[in-house]
Amino acid sequence: MTLNLEAICEAIATVEGFYVKSEHPTVSQRCNNPGNLMYVGQPGAVPYPVTGVDGKVRKYARYRSVVDGWGGLKRQVQLDASRGLTLAEFINKYAPASDLNDPRAYCNTVAKRLNVSPDAKLSDVIA
């Protein structure tokens, strides 16, 4: 595990609200899913449906433990790095505007935390 893989996962978890302190847990906290990954049959996860403010139901991955959730996020980052995506391409895929995200702001936040360009290859960022 590289330091930068840990750093990008931490940045994603921060943007996804995993570290928010509130009496009402965020979806990422309730699902042991620091990256708010959508459910696509990940090992050790079950679907957790949530209705968004747009009325659309999205199924998040709900992991048995936070350790499993971190593992899922790390695997996803590594998978998309192996696909040759840039950080910006990854974030556009990972947090699309169609799901009420702001991919540009999300990417800029992650890029700034990592001190890299949004155009950097994800594989170079986690290397």
Tokens of 40: 């696509």
pLDDT at 127: 81
User: Exposed, middle or buried, 123 (CB in 10 Å: 0-12/13-18/19+)?
Assistant: middle
Q: 3-126 adopts what CATH topology? A: Lysozyme (1.10.530)
pLDDT band, very low/low/confident/very high, at 25 (cuts 50, 70, 90): very high
Average pLDDT, the chain: 94
Q: What's this model's pTM, rounded to 2 decimal places?
A: 0.93
57-113 tens-digit pLDDT: 999 999 999 999 999 999 999 999 999 999 999 999 999 999 899 999 999 999 999
Checking if the pLDDT of 3 tops 70, the result is: no
**Could you state, in order of their start, the residue ranges of all structural domains in the chain?**
3-126
pLDDT at 90: 97
